[in-house]
Amino acid sequence: MAVGILLVTHEGVASALSAAARHVLSRLPDTLDLFEVAAAADPEQALADAAHHARDLDRGDGVLVLSDLYGATPCNVAQRLRARGARVRCVAGLNLPMLLRVLNYAERPLDELAGIAASGGRGGIVPDGVAP
């Protein structure tokens, strides 16, 4: 089994990041799914739809939910998935380095993968374009 990976983002963000990841990695795992929240979406309906995606992805090891912006509707939806019975860990601040790191370590357990996501996201941010 493997941890499911669900991107819950504003409209267009998840599809753009997954396309970029596909460009880098050539192939994406079947444990990855995208859920984009439209600007005019009803938050309760978005929660119900995201919960459906999370349940479909969970093959017994839980789901890592990556969201683009902490405090925004997609992140708020992601954080409420546990209340809908989904076994999830949420990490906000999704960027391409975070996604690539997660996809490269997707076989790790859910709790460890959440830490890998956060570390990968932070590690991909380099001031002045110069690595320390």
Q: If you average pLDDT over every residue of the chain, what do you get?
A: 95
Q: In this prediction, what percent of the chain has a pLDDT beyond 70?
A: 98
Whether the predicted pLDDT of 131 surpasses 90: no
Residue 68's CATH number: 3.40.50.510
Q: pTM here? A: 0.94
Residue 114 lies in a domain: yes
Domain span holding position 60 = 4-123
pLDDT, residue 76, reads 96
In the predicted structure, residue 18 carries a pLDDT above the cut 70:
yes
Would residue 128 count as lying in a domain?
no
Q: Which of 19-28, 62-71, 120-129 has the lowest mean pLDDT?
A: 120-129
Residue 131, in any domain of the structure: no
pLDDT digits (tens, 9 = 90+) for 71-122: 999 999 999 999 988 899 999 999 999 999 999 999 999 999 999 999 999 9
Total count of domains within the chain: 1
Does any domain span residue 13?
yes
Counting other chains too, the contacts that 110-116 makes at CB distance below 8 Å and 24 or more residues apart are 110/3, 110/61, 110/62, 110/63, 110/64, 113/3, 113/64, 113/89, 114/64, 114/89, 114/90
Residue 132 is assigned to a structural domain of this protein: no
